[in-house]
Amino acid sequence: MSLDAIKKLLEESEISQNVFLFFGEEVFLKNHYKNKLIERMEDTNFPDMDNFYFEDKNYKISDVNDAIETLPFMAEKKMLVFKNSYIFKSDSKTGAKQEYREYWEKRLKEIPAEVCIIFDEAEVDKRSALYKKIAKENAAFEFGFLTEQEMTRWTVNLFKTMGRRISPHDAAYLAQICSGGMTAVKNEALKLCAYTTGKTEVNMPDIRAVVTPSVENKIFEMLDAVIAKKPDIALKKLSDLFYLREHEVKILALIASTADKLMNTKIAIEEGLSQTEIMMNLGFKSPFIAKKYVSDCSKFSYSDLKKLISACAKCDSELKSNSIDGKILLEMLIADVSAN
């Protein structure tokens, strides 16, 4: 369901539903609206008696059942909040055990009117029977990353609340180089405001002085230098990753993964897919990342990408043999693909 749906629900004078599911990549929004709902439903007179919190998937079913079956103490409702119960994951290896899923399949058919249950989940399988049940009742709320325009507008307004101005261009750049969505941008905004004490505006030099781009963005910057045939700059970007203590295996995996995604993005564009479709089909979590792949893939020929992917596979084999230092291997890889 959309943000408008949860906003409308919270505006109702009386909330009749009593089971809710919150999930999605944008944790900032998910937590914001989950906490708003908790504020509406929570009993503040006797919180220890009528509010119950369960974390992870190894809680006791008997404790849950007791909490649901007993009447509220000096309150109209009691509330149960579950953080990452994983009951909406069908895979028993990563989701909750079968006995937990079976319990909730029966239990959710008989939730007393005076009980409110909130599920806050990191992962959800929309094919699961439990998800379909809650979604059918219009109580499943998914919080995806904002669009580029929404994120830029939100970032500008965020700085405004902190007593600073930032241009839309610089706000978009900040959102692009951060990973983790709104939470990451807010954390960087707090650092930028501290850094610019006494100033009214945050600008690009401030961002570059304070904010460390995500590893994925640094990989992009390095590949930009590779395709521009500037080995000195590409090697400097690689050195920056070493300075941040990123492991050689992780760096190589990210280079190979980025090259593979650039190849798939290039193919998707030729097939006529839009940026939104590419984002969904290739699993890009952020519209900024999707936009970067769409714009950058045109800089690479199929030949360039095949060469890079092949060189990464060879480097990976040599890394596993431990015959040469990992850093030297990566430096040789970047020097080779950016020089020819």
280-313 pLDDT tens trace: 788 777 777 888 888 888 888 898 899 899 999 9
pLDDT value at 249 more than 80? yes
So what's the pLDDT on residue 177?
A: 86
Residues in contact with 270: Cβ distance below 8 Å, sequence separation at least 6, in sequence order: none
Rounded to a whole number of angstroms, the distance between the first and last alpha carbons of the chain is: 50
Among 97-101, 179-183, 200-204, 252-256, the range scoring the smallest mean pLDDT is 179-183
Distance of alpha carbon 242 from alpha carbon 254, whole angstroms: 14
pLDDT band at 172 (very low <50, low <70, confident <90, very high): very high
Work out the average pLDDT over 228-232: 87
Q: Where are the beta strands (DSSP E) in the chain?
A: 19-23, 51-55, 78-83, 115-121, 140-142
pTM for this predicted structure: 0.75
Structure tokens at 17: 């539903």
Distance of alpha carbon 15 from alpha carbon 113, whole angstroms: 11
φ, ψ of residue 17 in degrees (nearest 5) = -70, 155
Residue whose tokens read 């006797």: 46
Q: Are strands 19-23 and 140-142 parallel, antiparallel or unpaired?
A: parallel
Domains of the chain: 3-142 (3.40.50.300), 148-210 (1.10.8.60), 215-339 (1.20.272.10)
Cβ distance 34 to 120 under 8 Å?
Answer: yes
pLDDT band at 152 (very low <50, low <70, confident <90, very high): very high
Distance of alpha carbon 239 from alpha carbon 255, whole angstroms: 14
So what's the pLDDT on residue 1?
A: 53
The type of residue at 121 is E
Distance of alpha carbon 172 from alpha carbon 7, whole angstroms: 26
Q: What is the mean pLDDT of the chain?
A: 88
As to burial, measured by CB atoms within 10 angstroms (0-12 exposed, 13-18 middle, 19+ buried), residue 161 is exposed
Work out the average pLDDT over 33-56: 82
